[in-house]
Structure 1
């Protein structure tokens, strides 16, 4: 642990990894030698001039590097979609974003009352049965989930966006201190894919809290859970018996708020499409480019919790710069976590001071 007057090498590593830089690339950007960066990250040969140069080039407040050690998601605990295609640099950057989300979440928890976690451990059940049980426990019946992010937040999950401009880091989930669940979603994907990712990560949270959450089998289980959670088999069987054409698939997918491919896969899984019909539809959709661009796209879901917090702050003449100042974080990094809803800066006249009154409750709508 480091006090406020001591340089903290772990903070430099965190900022470098979040910036997607190696020691060599950081050295080149700053005009230092790789040996200098290596020494700084070991806590050796400290130089305030070097820290000032790094701060200036990567856009971090100098004070960031003198804060205490910061908890971040552990690689072994975080579930990444497309894990095998995620490079070490991409993985480290996403995990560093998770560390910043932990900081922001702790800041929010000090000032606002949020729902406690209602994510059960269903690891003893099959993915399909776990999805059915959770739907029943949450009173969803067999109807479509209107908004996955709002639903997760109402059950105590902190949901943040990942502004990663690549297709490899789809999403990931983790637990903070084994108590608070987090889900991170890539904001550059289609609305339908992001919804499925959210359900997929919910699958990891309920199925793999105390089990292995990596590998093909774990990913398959989370996919199976997501499919059943978003499109309950009982409802699909009762509603979709007559679906045979792409036109009918595109119409029905809007009811469930899922991708055309996800619905087609589900129809085949429950036996409503033969192998031949399933292959024919997949070929037709691929030829039309639906793997890269979703037809009849839906609207991207955004965090309700973060929007309400920002609205309340703006009402008091404040912005995310208030959070940035308190946490010594770059404002741009907080904006990246906030689903692009914090792009307009409002002059920051003063910080939110601790209050003796109870923190305000945020009313969340599922």
Structure 2
């Protein structure tokens, strides 16, 4: 009974400061429609809509019911300094037709929760300021070289040396981009990205554990952040532009053109395998690049892809690197704060989020089932009462 009273007390404290946007976020996280939630709390969908819009405020008892039904603490609904949802742009999903609106809402809410957690942790730990170049490329620019120019700008402004790009997740994190893995329940949604205005976000699929394909996904989503702040998401042209951006970022035309095959004879597969490991991209990406740059004819490309399919490499190419790139910004922040005497339970209480989602968002790998990688040095020191953590820029 004491835990119930405690929950009721927390609900009573939250009720005067109830934020309808937080209710909508919690409902989307749970993958529920308004009518679904209404049935769980024995109210009407109209009432749920009124709470979410702010037209009405639920009673303390109803706040407790909502929290129980959505598996969150009542404190989750309390107003925050920033409304993450209001400050977020529409996310770029790969295909709007292949996933339901409910699934997209759930995935998007998860990304917003990641921003919420990062913002809460920044009360103690200083992250790199967001520094993503803006190079708008519009959907009617189908025949121009906008995506390639955007990728070259990023390589220049971020100091990517001539040759293969390094650790992409670390590169984005050093420029203030939040990179996280989504939870298993949103795995049907591929990698996606959005700009929250507080911090750009890239959310990676937890199932796709191919190092080479993951790097292309990251570069693709970075392309959206750079080029498509105002573009309508999900369109074929916009997606093609992000692919072109990723190809140029990972395989700059002037650096790789002469290395690509012009025929599929001889030891070409050995050459492709060597290029795959050198540039950190799949053989399929290399073949597509060779065709795009005019090295391979359409016939040679189709024959090569037929071979890829026959060998079962469409989804499972052989490669030397088995471990995917892993985020470190949030995991290292939590580790640093624990070292400073702020334990995980305190952080979860401060963030007011479900513990399982907190751990998923701050994990290094999907399911947190991989050993921690060797991290770059982090130099913590108190400054003005805060613990400051600076990720080394590489």
Instruction: Tell me which interval the TM-score lies in, with the shorter structure as reference length.
Output: 0.7 to 0.9
Work out whether residues 72 and 102 of structure 1, in 8 Å CA contact, stay in contact via their aligned partners in 2: no
Among 182, 190, 214, the alignment partner of 1:194 is 214
| Kept in 2: contact 1:90–1:169 (CA 8 A) | yes
Counterpart position of 1:348: none
Q: Match of 2:372?
A: none
Aligned to 1:362: 390
Cα separation, 2, equivalents of 1:25 and 1:230: 45
Q: Does 1:102 align with 2:121?
A: no
Asked if the contact 1:305/1:364 (under 8 Å) is kept, the reply is: no
Q: Report the Cα distance in structure 2 between the residues aligned to 1:320 and 1:287, rounded to whole angstroms.
A: 49
Partner of residue 16, structure 1 = 27
Cα distance in 1 for residues equivalent to 2:88 and 2:332: 31
Partner of residue 155 from structure 1, selected from 166, 170, 175 = 175
SS at match of 1:83: coil
| TM-score, normalization by structure 1 | 0.84
2:284 and 2:186 mapped to 1: Cα distance? 21
Measured in 2, the distance between the counterparts of 1:130 and 1:13 equals 36
Residue 316 of structure 2: which of 279, 293, 296 is its match? 293
**Structure 2 residue 72 is matched with structure 1 residue 60:** yes
**Alpha-carbon shift at residue 194 of structure 1 (Å):** 2.2
Residue 326 of structure 1 corresponds to 350
User: How many positions carry a matched residue from both structures?
Assistant: 351
Q: Which residue of 1 aligns with 2:378?
A: none
Partner SS state of residue 110, structure 1: coil
Query: Does residue 263 of structure 1 match 2:286?
Result: yes
Q: Is the 8 A contact 2:89 2:195 kept in 1?
A: no
For the 8 Å contact 1:304–1:364, the answer to whether it is kept is no
CA distance in 2, matches of 1:51, 1:12: 10
Q: 1:155-193 deviations in whole A, cap 9, x for unaligned?
A: 22122222244564212222223x632222222213322
The Cα of 1:113 is off from its aligned counterpart by 2.1
Q: CA deviation at 1:262?
A: 1.4
8 Å CA contact retained: 2:89, 2:196: no
Contact 2:128 2:176 in 1 (8 A): yes
Cα offset for 1:343?
Answer: 5.1
For 1:337, the equivalent position in structure 2 comes to: 361
Please, which runs of 5 or more residues in structure 1 have no aligned partner?
345-353
Q: Deviations over 1:179-225 (max 9, x none)?
A: 63222222221332221121111111221234545421111111100
CA distance in 2, matches of 1:360, 1:243: 54
Contact 2:164/2:279 (CA < 8 Å) preserved in 1? yes
CA distance in 2, matches of 1:120, 1:183: 15
2:102 to 83, 89, 96: 89
Paired with 1:268 and 1:219, the residues of 2 have a C-alpha distance of 18
Task: Indicate conservation of the 8 Å contact 1:91/1:169, yes or no.
Answer: yes
| Rounded Cα–Cα distance in structure 2 between residues aligned with 1:165 and 1:258 | 28
CA distance in 1, matches of 2:162, 2:383: 43
Alignment of 1:204-215 (within 5 A): 204-215=224-235
Return the alpha-carbon distance in structure 2 between the equivalents of residues 117 and 13 of structure 1.
Answer: 27
